[in-house]
Chain A
């Protein structure tokens, strides 16, 4: 072992620097609850320790608050039409009105509720499917793994959006259809990630011990192994929500959702249908897109922060307290 390496670890306080993954070994505790608590505590520590994560989660928290309380603050009924059509932002209509005179600010508040709710719910369901497939596949191995891996890899290479468009096209329009289709087309990526993680965990002592003590297979998978992967599952959930959000709005934008409910996607659909661009109605199509981008960027920021915590080398800012002249001299 060279000292250089030893000390770099001292310097970064990271004994295992595995890139882009978030696995941290959790010490074996007596109760599983303790390990779960350990996992949640880690999530909390991650939330507060890294600047990127902190900013990202603040923005996400803001959107969650708007989703919950926003409609209460809405000055107008989002679907009510009025004669004041296509008015630019003003004191009465903060974000202007649509071609049919609906208040865009109110629409945005209501739309946030719908989009955030469905985005997070579907993200949760997608993650759930990934977890089940990944853990079962990784734990059992053998033919079950072969088949599940094959399915995972196939869904990984088939382009999701065209498949989703075809699938949604055939079924009754509505959020349930979209949710189901998005689950169908987005579960594979994280399933592969979690399978690899479970595979490496299968032969750990605590799993062997649980097996020896006659615990049932499902208990081992979901009560012994799963709590250890809570960190990586959380990261997977965050990235899933981004994809779900993008897919959801894309399908709604195409008019494949319920176009009569107010959401970010349907707002963009109507904006596009009314040729808002060619009438110069930027205040119609810009706000919902900004919201999607902002929420998506916040979620991505959280994930980058998590990556940096797992591998401190990825940080942009390097030890600020090094004297400048040393840095300059240290050209290698």
Chain B
């Protein structure tokens, strides 16, 4: 129980750190973001008055006349009320609305692809370690090693080019067929979403599966030389039982423990993948924000992604404690 409390405190602290970083970074920057934004708007032919500029400044939280602590409290206060400013790229729509609309696409894509790649990576890792030295092992391990070094966005470009442009098997952009299908819980819509999601998901799975698989392989090989695996063999248990309940059950722990680092990396990759596929998730919005210097939207997206990753990591830690009975005892002692 004490261990759990410590971890909750840690994640609260990490969340606070992310929120504060989000506050500090713009204020470390040279120049006035509001002025940049104004210039940006004007260059696009949108003219706004001085009063509007002030309003934008207030919205952005750059009311530079206030002392920093007051700004910080204002910032925390507006966060508490779910106010992340307005997104210029999306005709001054509140950032929370933009993110709220996009997040489901990203969550869906992310959940499906991370689950797939984790399951697939672990499974392949188990098999490859079990058949160590076999043809499968000597071919698959270096191949996946190569795949893991490919940048997500380039993998996305390549897959989009081959399966979308050349072969024309899959659509080139978007999250669903906007012309022919209306959003809703209809079979057509769901099928369209899946059809559009296959390539982005494939990209993420291919780019991230190697990491899980290689960790699993190495951990599994170490575990297979443990006495309890030998004893399970001596007990005459079935191979599948030894492989999963005795070896893999223990070998998966480093993968779960390393989930945090991997997830942060994969989420970054997912954002880039969405950009390439013009997938209607927050990654695509992030690209719009970056290209148009839409600071509020950028920061809002960072905050949401950071908090989301923290939450996912906390869940991973909870499951780790569930998977490894020793943790509860040792760490709280």
**A–B contact (CB under 8 angstroms):** yes
List, in ascending order, chain A residues with CB within 8 A of B298's CB.
165-166, 169
Q: How far is the CB of A50 from chain B (nearest CB, A)?
A: 13
Q: How far is the CA of A273 from the CA of B268 in the complex (A)?
A: 20
Contact of A250 among B17, B261, B272 (CB under 8 A): B272
Return the chain B residue nearest A4 by Cβ.
Answer: B230
Residue B291 CB within 8 A of the other chain: yes
Residue A163 CB within 8 A of the other chain: yes
Do A285 and B154 touch (CB < 8 A)?
A: yes
Q: How far is the CA of A285 from the CA of B161 in the complex (A)?
A: 10
Question: Chain A 293-315 against B: per-residue CB contact (8 Å), 1 yes, 0 no?
Answer: 11111011100100100010110
Residue A318 CB within 8 A of the other chain: yes
List, in ascending order, chain B residues with CB within 8 A of A272's CB.
157, 276
With A154-B14, A159-B305, A254-B290 already in contact, the answer to whether A289 and B264 are too (CB < 8 A) is no
Do B133 and A296 touch (CB < 8 A)?
A: no
Q: Is the interface of A mostly helix, strand, loop or mixed?
A: helix
> Which range holds the interface residue count of chain A?
35 or more
Q: How many residues of B contact A (CB 8 A)?
A: 72
Q: How far is the CA of A241 from the CA of B22 in the complex (A)?
A: 26
Residue B89 CB within 8 A of the other chain: no
Do A289 and B286 touch (CB < 8 A)?
A: no
List, in ascending order, chain A residues with CB within 8 A of B214's CB.
304
Q: How far is the CA of A293 from the CA of B149 in the complex (A)?
A: 5
Question: Chain B 257-281 against A: per-residue CB contact (8 Å), 1 yes, 0 no?
Answer: 0001101110111011001100000
Residue B112 CB within 8 A of the other chain: no
CB-based closest 10 A-B pairs: A296-B149, A161-B268, A289-B154, A170-B29, A159-B264, A297-B149, A293-B150, A297-B146, A318-B133, A166-B302
Ordered by A's residue number, 13 sampled pairs between the chains whose C-beta atoms are within 8 Å are A161-B265, A161-B267, A165-B302, A166-B25, A170-B28, A170-B29, A250-B152, A255-B290, A255-B291, A277-B160, A285-B154, A293-B149, A316-B141
- Using CB atoms and an 8 Å cutoff, list the residues of chain B in contact with chain A: 10-11, 13-14, 17-18, 21-22, 25-26, 28-30, 33, 132-133, 137-138, 141-142, 145-146, 148-154, 157-158, 160-161, 164-166, 172, 214, 217-219, 221-222, 225, 233, 260-261, 263-265, 267-269, 271-272, 275-276, 286-287, 290-291, 293, 295, 298-299, 301-302, 305-306, 309-310, 313
**Further pairs besides A158-B310, A163-B302, A292-B151: 14, Cβ < 8 Å:** A19-B219, A154-B17, A157-B14, A159-B267, A162-B268, A242-B149, A254-B272, A271-B157, A272-B157, A277-B157, A289-B150, A299-B149, A300-B149, A301-B142
